[in-house]
A = this chain, B = another copy of it.
Amino acid sequence: MRVYWEDTDAGGIVFYANYLKFFERSRTEWLRSLGIEQQRLKESTGGLFVVIDTRIRYHRPARLDDALIVTASLLETGGASMIIRQQALLKKEQNNSAGALLCEGTIRIGWVNAGSWQPARIPASILDRLKT
Measured CA separation A102–B104 after assembly (Å): 24
With A38-B64, A58-B53 as given contacts, are A4 and B25 in contact (CB-CB < 8 Å)?
yes
Give, as a whole number of angstroms, the nearest-CB distance from A60 to chain B.
7
Measured CA separation A79–B56 after assembly (Å): 22
Chain A residues touching B, majority SS: mixed
Contact with B along A39-51 (1 / 0, CB 8 A): 1100000001011
Contact with B along A20-51 (1 / 0, CB 8 A): 11001100110010000111100000001011
How many copies of the polypeptide does the oligomer hold?
A: 4
Q: Which residues of A97-117 have CB atoms within 8 Å of chain B's CB atoms?
A: 114, 117
Q: Within 8 Å of chain B (Cβ to Cβ): is A78?
A: no
Contact A28 B5 (CB under 8 A): yes
Contacts of A5 in B (CB 8 A): 9-11, 15, 24, 28, 38
Give, as a whole number of angstroms, the nearest-CB distance from A23 to chain B.
9
9 A-B pairs with least C-beta separation: A17-B20, A8-B10, A39-B65, A16-B51, A39-B64, A53-B57, A6-B21, A5-B9, A10-B64
